[in-house]
Structure 1
Amino acid sequence: MTALIVALACLFLAVGLSATAVLIPPPRRERVLKTLAKYTRGDAPDKDEQDDSTESAVSRLLYRIGTMLGPPGDRERLVRGLDRAGNPPGWPLTKVIRMRPLSAAGLAMFCSALGDTWKGDPGSVIGAIGGFVGGCLLPQLLVNNAGTKRQELVQRSLPDVMDALVIGVEAGLGLDSAMDQVARTMRGPMADEMHRVLQEMRLGVSRTEALRSLSGRTTVRDLKRLVTALVQAGDLGISVAPILREHAQDQRVRRRQRAEEQAQKIPVKLLFPVLFCMFPAIFVIIIGPAVLELSGAFG
């Protein structure tokens, strides 16, 4: 019982430390870089520049420890994951890295106390090691989960965005004007990506590079194919209206196929809830009276 109380206390301490790390106000340089990241690729500054820009000694220490705990290439993976997640305002790269040592320490203490209640000292050591490793991987898992959910939203909204682009281009607008119309009138991650592409172009980036950056920020294959077709059309001087029309028709077909696929999965997903939840109750109702009568007869 005492070990369980200690485990709960460690968990509350870990949550409090993580909240403190997240709520530490960013310095002025970091706020400026976060603002510029909306109009660029969102690449974070180098480690030395980031360390120099951190005003708080606590945040600087947490950042360095979090960097050391990360595997090789962790910074680049975090940058790509945050790009796919849309660079959430509350999740800058420095805060994600600062959360790693706190989550590792908190989960290590919690799992150690929990393992001690079950297996004693061996369980405490194994729990501490497992909690530490899980805490080091937790920020990356959270970023990947946010990126996966956002990419699913991008895939769902892509057919509607394609229809809006086709309507704008066939009405006489250029591709840039049609993208601006979509970014201003629609809501969602796909409209945000259009807005970011236009902002990059306004900062002097060519349309080809801005579209390729969009392709690098997404895992949706349909969007990657669309970007490749638009880049090739721009390089060859081909009209984009037929390309957009074909892709819009293809997206509508694919959306219907995905809906049919999800509908075909429903019987399989319902099998286990029916098997473990409904069948026992049905067996009790149907066979229960007969069992009671037989037990009374043979009793």
Structure 2
Amino acid sequence: MLPLGLTLLGLGLATVLAVLFAGRDPVRVRAMANLQRGRGVEATVARRQQGNLGFARWIDTPARRGRLELALAKAGFPSGWTVDQLLSIKVLGTLFALVLATLAWATGKNPLLVLMLLGMAVLAFFLPDLLLYNTFLKRREQIDLELADTLDQMSIAVQAGLGFDAAMLRVARNGRGVLAGELIRTMQDVQVGQSRRSAYEDLSRRTGSDPLRRFVRTVIQAESYGIPLADVLTAQSDEMRIARRQLAEKKAMEIPVKVVFPLILCILPVIFLVILGPAAISIIDAFTGVLK
């Protein structure tokens, strides 16, 4: 039974590694090419539905595929991952943990080990979602930090005589961060014929940033009512800078509370041990001598 378990373990690891480090999916390449020709997130979802891996079909539904596609877009498609790879990893990881749980029950019948392996199966199914969400949070935080400076540059460019689209394109090409890449993608959508409103809404949907969403709504309303965009950019940049300063002050005020638990659990026991240890040893020696 043991050689069979080792064989299944080796096959499972080899399959998971093959899925993780496989080359770029041709479906993803075609989808990205279509996106650069002006299609938004919804069109990308439709293109990715044309192909999937055999393992992914077990849990592949339009709703789950749409959620994963949006999660990948918000996370910036890390490491070139596709929806098919994520679905396959979910299925393979869960099956692998279930096979190990079955072998553990058949060989040793250890209930604790079986429960741990079942927990690993549940974790393997939801781990890709957690990793994507963590990447999205870091990416959104970086976008929020870059937004104020980007709006300042756009405001200066508009006041210097450039149009809003030209100012956005110039700032995007001169930038190096995540927000610059998203702005370039948005301008590509506009240049190939997509409406500005749709391109801006796709930008806010991809990033998931609340300050950027408010800025997009303000720009759309300004274009609808004919408000000068230079004034809008100035007001928005000032608001974003104040919000960033308030966020920094909030994090600074949270530091004492976050330090309490490491202080109690890690530092204070060591201090008590160093201070009270010699005294406790002396007291024990004194009482030991009296008893003798």
Superposition TM-score tier, normalisation by shorter sequence = 0.7 to 0.9
The answer as to 2:212 corresponding to 1:231 is no
Kindly indicate whether the alpha-carbon contact (under 8 Å) linking 1:111 and 1:131 is maintained by their aligned counterparts in 2.
no
Kindly indicate whether the alpha-carbon contact (under 8 Å) linking 1:233 and 1:240 is maintained by their aligned counterparts in 2.
yes
Q: Report the Cα distance in structure 2 between the residues aligned to 1:7 and 1:280, rounded to whole angstroms.
A: 44
Q: CA deviation at 1:15?
A: 4.1
Q: In the alignment, what sits opposite 1:61?
A: 54
Q: CA deviation at 1:251?
A: 1.0
Q: In the alignment, what sits opposite 1:18?
A: 16
Q: Report the Cα distance in structure 2 between the residues aligned to 1:215 and 1:241, rounded to whole angstroms.
A: 21
Q: Report the Cα distance in structure 2 between the residues aligned to 1:273 and 1:112, rounded to whole angstroms.
A: 40
Q: Report the Cα distance in structure 1 between the residues aligned to 2:259 and 2:279, rounded to whole angstroms.
A: 29
Q: In the alignment, what sits opposite 1:54?
A: none
The residue type equivalent to 2:54 in the other structure is L
Q: Report how many residues are paired.
A: 283
The residue type equivalent to 1:144 in the other structure is Y
Give the secondary structure class of the aligned counterpart of 1:49: coil
Kindly indicate whether the alpha-carbon contact (under 8 Å) linking 1:159 and 1:248 is maintained by their aligned counterparts in 2.
yes
Kindly indicate whether the alpha-carbon contact (under 8 Å) linking 2:27 and 2:50 is maintained by their aligned counterparts in 1.
no
Provide structure 1 residue ranges, at least 5 long, that are not aligned to the other structure: 52-59
Q: Note closer, same or farther for the CA distance 1:247–1:101 as it changes in structure 2 (3 Å cut).
A: same
The residue type equivalent to 2:63 in the other structure is G
The more displaced of 127-136 and 73-82 is 127-136
CA RMSD of aligned residues (A): 2.8
The residue type equivalent to 2:122 in the other structure is V
The more displaced of 193-202 and 26-35 is 26-35
Counterpart pick for 1:183 among 144, 147, 172: 172
Kindly indicate whether the alpha-carbon contact (under 8 Å) linking 2:147 and 2:240 is maintained by their aligned counterparts in 1.
yes
The answer as to 2:151 corresponding to 1:162 is yes
Q: Note closer, same or farther for the CA distance 1:261–1:48 as it changes in structure 2 (3 Å cut).
A: closer
Q: In the alignment, what sits opposite 2:39?
A: 40
- Aligned identity (percent) is 31
Kindly indicate whether the alpha-carbon contact (under 8 Å) linking 1:111 and 1:130 is maintained by their aligned counterparts in 2.
no
Q: Report the Cα distance in structure 2 between the residues aligned to 1:262 and 1:105, rounded to whole angstroms.
A: 42
Q: CA deviation at 1:248?
A: 0.5
Q: Note closer, same or farther for the CA distance 1:127–1:190 as it changes in structure 2 (3 Å cut).
A: same
Q: Report the Cα distance in structure 2 between the residues aligned to 1:87 and 1:200, rounded to whole angstroms.
A: 18
Counterpart pick for 1:98 among 88, 111, 130: 88
Q: In the alignment, what sits opposite 2:50?
A: 49
- TM superposition score normalised by structure 2: 0.85
Kindly indicate whether the alpha-carbon contact (under 8 Å) linking 1:21 and 1:98 is maintained by their aligned counterparts in 2.
yes
Q: Note closer, same or farther for the CA distance 1:14–1:248 as it changes in structure 2 (3 Å cut).
A: farther
- TM superposition score normalised by structure 1: 0.83
